Structure 1
Amino acid sequence: MEPFVTSDTDNPALSGLRARIARTWNDLSKSERAVCRVLSSTSAEHILYASAAELGTQSGTSNASVVRTLQKLGYSGLSHLKQEVAAPFSSSVSPEVRLKTRIEHIGQDLARIQQETWDEAASLIELARTSNDDDAYSAAITLLMRAESIYCYGLGASGIAAENLALRLRRTGLTTRRLSTDGFRLADEVMNLGAKDILVIFAPGRVTRDIDVLLDHAQLMGAGVILVTDELHDRLSSRVDTILTAPHTPTGLTSESLSAILISDVLVQGISAVAPDAALRSSQLLNDVRARLGY
């Protein structure tokens, strides 16, 4: 196993956790201190896969005490802490090592596999829900509604979210296309991007050369940019119009695009609510074409 995964010093999130505990210690209750003792002596690997219930049992408290303690420390919940712990693990450890670690941790117990997968999904959804307020969604919806054309881009697993948004936006009546290539052919797909268009980029944690060029091209053309990301807020905030937070899976138990897909769904429903007549006309046209195709 890579040393920083379980090291007390090499994972910055663990150092940050212990610093928060030290600053808050005098204000903690007996049960909260018990939770902190477990958290401060737990490896990064264990935190990634532990549930609030497990940490509650280890500390002799409860899952509610764990969540309450984390919130007092400044985290929104356990998923928030996991996101911070996972950052160096996800970027520095190969997928094969992460997969091996996940298999070794979960084992072959189907009940446990099911429970941990659902637990992580629920935590990610809650973190995504609380990370984006109405103003962030409103800003993105306004940009999309005013666009002449919308271009949706996502690399790898993020492409699933980009495809979902492009498909569903088209069904509301908005002119939308999915940027489905990268590298050399990507130039063909964005050469007509204009000042009245919007580029939606799904980029959880890496700025690839393609993304860098897309951002530069959008700025050169005067097009607006909506960024859906987990880790790139600070790095890219000056180059985009608005940002929506899509927490990335810290363990690989759930789909990498889970929260991004749900954020796309919120945008689509928001647009349908703002312009119901257009959405209805588009839906009727779609069903008419399907009927003529025999569906």
Structure 2
Amino acid sequence: MDNVLENGKTLLSIRGHMSGLTKKEQKVAQYILEHAQEVIYQSVTELAERADIGETTVLRLCRKLKFNGFQDFKLSLAQDLVKPFERLPMEVAEGDDPVTISQKLISSHYQILEQTHELLQPGELNRAVDALIRADHIDFYGVGSSGFAAMQAASTFMRMGKNSCYTADTHFQAMKAALMKPGDVAVGISITGSTKDTIDSLTLARKAGATILAITSNARSPIVKLADIVLLTVARENPFQGSSMSSKLSQMTVIDVLSVAVSLGMKDEAFKYRETTAKSIANKMI
């Protein structure tokens, strides 16, 4: 076994606590020891499913190991396992020159876009477009890097005349969600599908009668269980990456597909509003 795996303090801590764990905790602990490289990319839901135990058992194990939660545990585990250049796609090596890095990254991004296309289910995509065309109001929800995607999406749909909005403040997100109505669409963007603030806002929007559209890379996440329509994206990142470019590319590609399809569905109306919004900011240009 790799020395990093053998000497990592997190894995050593798991081994040291093994005798004091319950049978279910031992089961998930053993899974982590045998699949450590995979675990750093998994959500708590995925890990629980793979280890065939409940999510509460995973969280209880993290607490016994003196971590604040699952993300804190994954960050420590990733620190043990991940080397700096292993975090880059297409196996970028330390000696690569800029041209080689460019070739590898662009090739990786191309593959991500292809995989994103393969993940998009025609039925769900058509339902999403129809819901957005009919929507009286569209609210976009996301935090962190997914918040930037949500902000871009709101701007894009506003330009074509859709009454759309995004706010970064999670308190305002919650209030806006609670005020949504039937006929409105709440779009939740989350790479992991487990972002608490986004889940909370979508829950409020659902109670208010809005249609829930989820854009996520985790098909077994809480956001999927909450959503009426799900569009899956491609993302594979460890806790050190925060949000990789691959995740942003995948998210923005899906948003671009939706906006173009909705624009075509609105026909001349979308063009009219694009012209109106363009004129509204024309005097802002130097």
TM-score above 0.5: yes
* CA 2–219 in structure 1, closer or farther in 2 if over 3 Å, else same: farther
- Whether 1:93 aligns to 2:93 is no
Aligned length: 220
SS in 2 for 1:207: coil
Structure 2 residue aligned with 1:102: 87
Question: Residue type of the partner of 1:169?
Answer: F
Structure 2 residue aligned with 1:273: 264
Cα-Cα RMSD: 3.4
Question: Residue type of the partner of 2:254?
Answer: I
Cα distance between partner residues in 1 of 2:163 and 2:146: 21
Which of 118, 121, 133 is matched with 1:145 structurally? 133
Flag structure 1 segments of 5+ consecutive residues without an equivalent: 15-87
Is the Cα contact below 8 Å between 1:162 and 1:202 reproduced in 2?
Answer: yes
Flag structure 2 segments of 5+ consecutive residues without an equivalent: 12-31, 40-72
Question: Residue type of the partner of 2:180?
Answer: L
Which of 143, 153, 157 is matched with 1:165 structurally? 153
TM-score, normalising length: structure 2: 0.66
Question: Residue type of the partner of 2:155?
Answer: L
Structure 2 residue aligned with 1:112: 100
Cα distance between partner residues in 1 of 2:77 and 2:210: 34
Residues 167-190 of structure 1, C-alpha deviation per residue, up to 9 Å, x if partnerless?
1111111000013122x4433443
Cα distance between partner residues in 2 of 1:157 and 1:95: 25
User: Which runs of structure 2 are paired with 1:1-295 in the superposition (5 Å)?
Assistant: 1=4, 9-11=34-36, 93=78, 97=82, 99=84, 101-102=86-87, 106-109=93-96, 110-182=98-170, 184-233=171-220, 235-250=222-237, 254-293=245-284
Structure 1 residue aligned with 2:55: none
User: How far off its partner does 1:99 sit?
Assistant: 4.2
Question: Residue type of the partner of 2:230?
Answer: I
User: How far off its partner does 1:158 sit?
Assistant: 1.1
Cα distance between partner residues in 1 of 2:225 and 2:37: 26
User: How far off its partner does 1:288 sit?
Assistant: 2.3
Is the Cα contact below 8 Å between 1:201 and 1:228 reproduced in 2?
Answer: yes
Residues 203-259 of structure 1, C-alpha deviation per residue, up to 9 Å, x if partnerless?
111413212312321221111110000014454433211110111144756343111
Is the Cα contact below 8 Å between 1:204 and 1:232 reproduced in 2?
Answer: no
Cα distance between partner residues in 1 of 2:209 and 2:197: 18
Cα distance between partner residues in 1 of 2:210 and 2:120: 23
Question: Residue type of the partner of 1:203?
Answer: S
Question: Residue type of the partner of 1:263?
Answer: V
Greater displacement, 232-241 / 165-174: 232-241
Question: Residue type of the partner of 2:218?
Answer: E
Is the Cα contact below 8 Å between 2:182 and 2:209 reproduced in 1?
Answer: yes
Cα distance between partner residues in 1 of 2:228 and 2:279: 37
Is the Cα contact below 8 Å between 1:148 and 1:175 reproduced in 2?
Answer: yes
Structure 2 residue aligned with 1:48: none
* CA 114–294 in structure 1, closer or farther in 2 if over 3 Å, else same: closer
> Percent of counterpart pairs with the same letter?
20
Is the Cα contact below 8 Å between 1:158 and 1:256 reproduced in 2?
Answer: no
Question: Residue type of the partner of 1:168?
Answer: T
Greater displacement, 255-264 / 88-97: 88-97
* CA 94–243 in structure 1, closer or farther in 2 if over 3 Å, else same: farther
